[in-house]
Amino acid sequence: MNRAVRRTVGASLVALLAVALWVGPDWLRGLSFVVRAAGMKGEAAEALSRWHTVPFDVSDLRVPTRHGPVRARLYRPVDGWRGRTVVLTSGVHADGIDEPRLVKLAGDLAAGGHAVLTPEPEDLLRYEITPRLPDIIEDAAAWAAGREDLAPDGKVALFGISFSGGLSVVAAGRPALKERVAATLSFGGHGDLPRVLAFLCTGELSDGSRLSPHDYGVVVILLNVADRLVPPEQVEPLRAGIRTFLRASHLTLTDAVKAEETFARARALQAELPEPAATLLRQVNTRDVAALGPTLLPYVKAFAADPSMSPARSPPPGSPVYLLHGEGDTVIPSMEASLLGQALRPHTEVHVLATPLISHAEVDRQAAPADVGRLVGFWSDLLDE
């Protein structure tokens, strides 16, 4: 969270704390989590972030799934458990369960009294969106729900980030989990994958309005459909170049020098490729969404046709669903939360919050105290499920 947001939230801490004390401990717990997750500084904020927190252990393990065992990490409170186990799945990212923002979120939840299991589907490490992903989320959740030490009542919560948010909703609606999921959070997730991919290619939303799509999402599409666009011998070299570019994009958040070195490597790989792969990677390296979009659009419908990749096309969960989204998200538009909420409401309880405090699955925007209050209320309700 940037300094402006910290000042905004800090100026309203006293008022929010007064509300929390009036509403009750659950709201105070949500406020403590939001302050902790935002990394706010200052004596009052740090004291509030530590409210009723507990130490936790972290261990690596492997979780069995129908597609083979997957690496996972378990964050486990040493004592003072106050919430159910959360199965938290990352977005499309090569760092997987080591991604710093995921590690921080898992630790913030564990400090609040939740055991947190973070499975690592290998497809996500390769930036691939496949029908295997909801299978692995389902199997990891069933494994955790079947352990009495993690789920005494046989239920867990599913939290998914970005595309894993929508896929967690898919998993929660499957028969094996119908009675084993207490609540599901989709954080910046999708409702209908073909609709989102079409937006990324065209910039056109389902209501006819327009929004400039983020190049990251377009590049991920190219990686997934590369085998439809270039000869077989060019597929993996092109994907290697795309993955290098995506890795460089992630590094811009933590190491500007290494990021530029990695971008340079992606450009070098482009020079080694034959056509048409060279042109496609050049468009990636120059972030030429206007050129890539029309090229990719004819392929997205078939690529995303499997209903198991879209919660709006899959059996709905029977337990509450929480849809949290950034108002200005240009990877997965916030309209997805609204549309998915409409599709799910006839079948289950749904909570939708689109907030200016979030970009894409990350809290980093300036907003009014009322927006902070709504975010706190959302998390309070979710953490109390």
Could you tell me if 177 and 318 lie in one domain? Answer: yes
Is residue 70 within 8 Å of 62, Cβ to Cβ?
A: yes
Q: How many domains does the chain have?
A: 2
Could you tell me if 324 and 233 lie in one domain? Answer: no
Q: Partners of 321 in the beta sheet?
A: 184, 350
Report how far apart, in Å, the C-alpha atoms of 130 and of each of 213, 332, 379 are. Answer: 22, 17, 29
Is residue 138 within 8 Å of 177, Cβ to Cβ?
A: yes
- According to the model, what pLDDT value does residue 257 have? 96
Whichever domain contains 129, its CATH number is 3.40.50.1820
- According to the model, what pLDDT value does residue 79 have? 81
For the stretch 20-23, contacts whose Cβ atoms lie closer than 8 Å and that sit 24 or more positions apart, written own/partner, are 20/376
Strand order in the sheet with 321-326: 56-63, 70-77, 116-119, 86-89, 156-161, 181-187, 321-326, 350-355
- According to the model, what pLDDT value does residue 12 have? 52
Could you tell me if 327 and 181 lie in one domain? Answer: yes
> Tokens at residue 56, please?
């936790």
Domain contains 29: no
Could you tell me if 188 and 203 lie in one domain? Answer: no
Is residue 187 within 8 Å of 361, Cβ to Cβ?
A: yes
Domain contains 32: no
Parallel, antiparallel, or unpaired: how do β-strands 350-355 and 321-326 relate? Answer: parallel
Rounded CA separation 139/132 (Å): 11
> Tokens at residue 157, please?
């919560």
Decide which of 249, 277, 303 is a domain's last residue.
303
Could you tell me if 317 and 279 lie in one domain? Answer: no
- According to the model, what pLDDT value does residue 1 have? 39
- According to the model, what pLDDT value does residue 21 have? 44
Domain contains 3: no
Q: Partners of 88 in the beta sheet?
A: 159
Rounded CA separation 325/300 (Å): 23
Decide which of 303, 323, 347 is a domain's last residue.
303
Rounded CA separation 325/382 (Å): 14
Q: 11-31 burial, b if ≥16 CB within 10 A, otherwise e?
A: ebbeebbebbeeeeeebbbbb
- According to the model, what pLDDT value does residue 363 have? 54
Residue 283: name the closest of 295, 265, 272, 297 by CA: 295
Q: Which domain holds residue 208?
A: 195-303
First vs last C-alpha separation in the chain: 26
Domain contains 10: no
Could you tell me if 84 and 227 lie in one domain? Answer: no
Is residue 193 within 8 Å of 166, Cβ to Cβ?
A: yes
Could you tell me if 79 and 216 lie in one domain? Answer: no
Cis peptide before 276 (omega within 30 of 0): yes
> Tokens at residue 351, please?
């909570």
> Tokens at residue 221, please?
């599409």
Could you tell me if 171 and 61 lie in one domain? Answer: yes
Q: 343-373 burial, b if ≥16 CB within 10 A, otherwise e?
A: bbeeeeebbbbbbbbbbbbbbebbbeeebbb
Could you tell me if 344 and 289 lie in one domain? Answer: no
Backbone Cα Rg of the chain: 21
Domain contains 40: no
Domain contains 319: yes
Could you tell me if 294 and 178 lie in one domain? Answer: no
- Interhelix angle 193-202/335-344, nearest 10 degrees: 160
Decide which of 287, 303, 319 is a domain's last residue.
303
Is residue 117 within 8 Å of 88, Cβ to Cβ?
A: yes
Rounded CA separation 16/9 (Å): 9
Domain contains 6: no
Q: Tell me phi and psi for residue 371, to 5 degrees.
A: -65, -40
What string of pLDDT tens digits covers the 385 residues of the chain? Answer: 344 444 444 545 444 544 444 445 677 788 888 888 877 667 767 777 777 789 999 999 999 999 999 999 999 999 877 789 999 999 999 999 999 999 999 999 999 999 999 999 999 999 999 999 999 999 999 999 999 999 999 999 999 999 999 999 999 999 999 899 999 999 999 999 999 999 999 999 999 999 999 999 999 999 999 999 999 999 999 999 999 999 999 999 889 999 999 999 999 999 999 999 999 999 999 999 999 999 999 999 999 999 999 999 999 999 999 999 999 899 999 999 999 999 999 999 999 999 988 765 555 545 567 788 888 889 999 998 8
Q: What is the DSSP letter of 210?
A: B
Could you tell me if 166 and 65 lie in one domain? Answer: yes
Helix, strand, coil shares of the chain, percent, nearest 5, are 55, 15, 35
Could you tell me if 225 and 287 lie in one domain? Answer: yes
